[in-house]
Chains A and B, each alone.
Chain A
């Protein structure tokens, strides 16, 4: 902001970027409205003269058409007309997903196997989190066989001897 103190000791506020000059003092009231306009015009003329004084005294280069002058950035910045970042408009599918809390997640080709702490395939035989992949537990002799009939005989054989003695 540049404040110029004129000879009349009233201050002007200048916004050169907007070519604006503001005089914070009220215009002198007049008796008749006929000369009012002329008086205000004269006062405005003085202001514009002050603005011109500043502009023409700014450093300028020589040019055929006229002296070009570099203006500083305007002090008074008006508001923007559009948002700085525009969010993508959600469409029908997007709304459905939002309602169902469906989160878009990028699937990786190998999946992380928590048990073995490694990246392993997701679909093929012996994939990660395979329900069919039951770990083989070696039976102990002290294991109680909870079965009936033939099954019981088979399991008992396995427990005692480690193999099935006789197939049914």
Chain B
């Protein structure tokens, strides 16, 4: 079977860290910035905090109640929400921004350190999942 060959090519997952939601400001989407101990050997605390803080800011922008979002809401109501057949909601636009940011961060910061950020939207906005891959220098468990 080719699976044993695949084991050699792809790194094994050693563990996963889950950054939980921070509900201290209410129900808005915000993640805890507490640095998990499992990442200490791999990542700077500052780098991690910057990533999570940027994500929090982006989600805050998505859920912001302001003139622009009210205008969009009223316009949508008047057109019986058919306007969303041709236009994206503000939230969806920001989600695309977030996906791009995460891809960017993975390429620049996390992949070189053997880590992988998973977009929280794939986990129902519950957690930021960080997959820790085994060091290639260590044997892949044969």
Q: A and B, one complex?
A: no
